[in-house]
Homo-oligomer: A and B are copies of this chain.
Amino acid sequence: MTVASKTVSDVIHSHFGALTRAEKQLAESLLDNYPVSGLGSITTIAENAGVSTPTVVRMVQKLGFKGYPDFQAHLHQEVEATISNPIAKHDRWATNAPGTHILNRFADAIIGNLRQTLTGVDTATFDSVAQLLSDRKRSLYFVGGRITGALAEYFFTHMQVIRPNTALLSANSSSWPQYVLNMSPGDLLIIFDIRRYEQELVSLATAASKSGAEIILFTDQWASPAAKLAKHTFRVQIEAPSAWDSSVVTLFIVEALIEAVQNSTWDETKERMKTLEGLFEQTRLFRKLG
10 chain-A/chain-B pairs, Cβ below 8 angstroms: A17-B233, A79-B83, A83-B83, A86-B90, A104-B118, A106-B255, A106-B256, A195-B289, A198-B286, A248-B255
Number of copies: 2
**8 A Cβ contacts from A172-221 to B:** 195-200, 221
Neighbour of A103 across the interface among B36, B97, B118, B247, CB < 8 A: B118
Tell me if A136 is interfacial: C-beta within 8 Å of chain B: no
Task: Name the 9 nearest CB pairs between A and B, nearest first.
Answer: A150-B154, A242-B259, A36-B80, A94-B118, A97-B123, A199-B287, A150-B153, A150-B150, A93-B118
Asked if A121 CB lies within 8 Å of chain B CBs, one says yes
**Known contacts A197-B289, A198-B286; A92 and B119 CB within 8 A of each other:** yes
Interface residues of A (CB under 8 A from B): 9, 13, 16-17, 24, 28, 31-36, 39-40, 76, 79-80, 82-84, 86-87, 89-90, 92-98, 101-104, 106-107, 110-111, 114-116, 118-123, 126, 146-147, 149-151, 153-154, 157-158, 195-200, 221-223, 225, 227-228, 233, 235, 240-244, 246-248, 251-252, 255-256, 258-260, 262-263, 266, 269, 273, 284-287, 289-290
Q: Measured between C-beta atoms, what is the minimum distance from A122 to chain B in Å?
A: 7
Chain B residues with CB below 8 A from A89, complex form: 83, 86
Closest to A80 in B: B36
Contact residues in B for A233 (Cβ distance below 8 Å): 17
User: Of B28, B36, B102, B222, which contacts A83 at CB under 8 A?
Assistant: B36
Please classify the interface of chain A as helix (H, G, I), strand (E, B), loop, or mixed, using the class held by over half of its residues: helix
Closest to A115 in B: B93
Known: A106-B256, A251-B248, A256-B106. A16 touches B235 (CB 8 A): yes
CB-CB under 8 A from A9, the residues of chain B are: 119
Knowing A122-B96, A248-B248 are in contact, say whether A149-B157 is a contact too (CB < 8 A). Answer: yes
